[in-house]
Protein backbone atom coordinates (compact mmCIF):
# COMPACT_ATOMS: atom_id res chain seq x y z
CA UNK A 1 0.00 0.00 0.00
CA UNK A 2 1.26 3.48 -0.86
CA UNK A 3 1.73 6.09 1.87
CA UNK A 4 -1.23 8.41 2.50
CA UNK A 5 0.89 11.48 1.65
CA UNK A 6 1.72 10.03 -1.76
CA UNK A 7 -1.91 9.20 -2.51
CA UNK A 8 -2.97 12.72 -1.56
CA UNK A 9 -0.19 14.33 -3.56
CA UNK A 10 -1.00 12.29 -6.67
CA UNK A 11 -4.77 12.84 -6.44
CA UNK A 12 -5.04 16.37 -5.08
CA UNK A 13 -5.46 18.33 -8.33
CA UNK A 14 -7.97 15.88 -9.80
CA UNK A 15 -10.05 15.77 -6.61
CA UNK A 16 -9.88 19.56 -6.26
CA UNK A 17 -11.22 19.95 -9.81
CA UNK A 18 -14.10 17.56 -9.11
CA UNK A 19 -15.01 19.41 -5.92
CA UNK A 20 -14.98 22.73 -7.76
CA UNK A 21 -17.29 21.23 -10.38
CA UNK A 22 -19.71 20.05 -7.67
CA UNK A 23 -19.62 23.46 -5.97
CA UNK A 24 -20.27 25.26 -9.27
CA UNK A 25 -23.23 23.00 -10.03
CA UNK A 26 -24.73 23.56 -6.59
CA UNK A 27 -24.22 27.33 -7.03
CA UNK A 28 -26.08 27.24 -10.37
CA UNK A 29 -28.95 25.29 -8.80
CA UNK A 30 -29.11 27.76 -5.92
CA UNK A 31 -29.06 30.82 -8.19
CA UNK A 32 -31.76 29.33 -10.40
CA UNK A 33 -33.92 28.56 -7.37
CA UNK A 34 -33.42 32.09 -6.08
CA UNK A 35 -34.66 33.39 -9.43
CA UNK A 36 -37.98 31.63 -8.87
CA UNK A 37 -37.29 28.35 -10.71
CA UNK A 38 -38.47 25.79 -8.14
CA UNK A 39 -37.22 22.22 -8.27
CA UNK A 40 -39.61 19.48 -9.35
CA UNK A 41 -40.37 16.67 -6.90
CA UNK A 42 -37.87 14.39 -8.67
CA UNK A 43 -35.23 17.13 -8.61
CA UNK A 44 -35.87 17.73 -4.89
CA UNK A 45 -35.24 14.04 -4.27
CA UNK A 46 -32.01 14.18 -6.28
CA UNK A 47 -30.87 17.28 -4.41
CA UNK A 48 -31.59 15.51 -1.11
CA UNK A 49 -29.42 12.61 -2.29
CA UNK A 50 -26.59 15.02 -3.09
CA UNK A 51 -26.91 16.59 0.37
CA UNK A 52 -26.73 13.13 1.95
CA UNK A 53 -23.71 12.28 -0.22
CA UNK A 54 -21.91 15.41 0.95
CA UNK A 55 -22.57 14.45 4.57
CA UNK A 56 -21.15 10.97 3.86
CA UNK A 57 -18.02 12.55 2.38
CA UNK A 58 -17.55 14.62 5.52
CA UNK A 59 -17.80 11.55 7.79
CA UNK A 60 -14.74 9.68 8.99
CA UNK A 61 -14.09 6.09 8.04
CA UNK A 62 -12.80 4.04 5.17
CA UNK A 63 -16.21 3.04 3.82
CA UNK A 64 -17.35 6.31 2.21
CA UNK A 65 -17.19 4.97 -1.35
CA UNK A 66 -19.30 1.95 -0.38
CA UNK A 67 -21.86 4.14 1.38
CA UNK A 68 -22.09 6.48 -1.63
CA UNK A 69 -22.54 3.52 -3.97
CA UNK A 70 -25.39 2.23 -1.82
CA UNK A 71 -26.97 5.70 -1.64
CA UNK A 72 -27.11 5.98 -5.42
CA UNK A 73 -28.01 2.34 -6.13
CA UNK A 74 -31.40 0.75 -6.44
CA UNK A 75 -32.49 -1.88 -3.98
CA UNK A 76 -32.06 -5.41 -5.33
CA UNK A 77 -35.24 -6.93 -6.67
CA UNK A 78 -35.29 -10.60 -7.60
CA UNK A 79 -37.63 -9.91 -10.54
CA UNK A 80 -35.41 -7.19 -12.05
CA UNK A 81 -35.36 -8.96 -15.42
CA UNK A 82 -39.13 -8.74 -15.73
CA UNK A 83 -39.16 -5.16 -14.48
CA UNK A 84 -36.67 -4.16 -17.17
CA UNK A 85 -38.23 -6.34 -19.88
CA UNK A 86 -35.13 -8.51 -20.29
Q: What is the pLDDT of residue 85?
A: 86
Rounded to whole angstroms, how far apart are CA atoms 4 and 38?
Answer: 42
Query: Which DSSP string corresponds to 19-71?
Result: HHHHHHHHHHHHHHHHTT-PPPHHHHHHHHHHHHHHHHHHS-SS-HHHHHHHH
Residues 40, 33: Cα–Cα separation, whole Å: 11
Q: What is the pLDDT of residue 31?
A: 92
Residue 3: band (very low, low, confident or very high) from pLDDT cuts 50, 70, 90: very high
**pLDDT, tens digit (0-9, with 9 covering 90-100), for 25-84:** 999 999 998 888 889 999 999 999 999 999 999 999 999 999 999 999 988 888 888 888
Q: Where are the domains of the chain?
A: 1-37, 39-74
pTM given for the model? 0.80
d(CA 34, CA 72): 27
Query: What angle separates helix 64-72 from helix 41-58, to the nearest 10 degrees?
Result: 170
Q: Are 33 and 39 in contact (CB under 8 A)?
A: yes
Amino acid sequence: MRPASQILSESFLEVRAKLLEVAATLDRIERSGSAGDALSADAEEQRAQLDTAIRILLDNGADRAERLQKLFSREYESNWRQEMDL
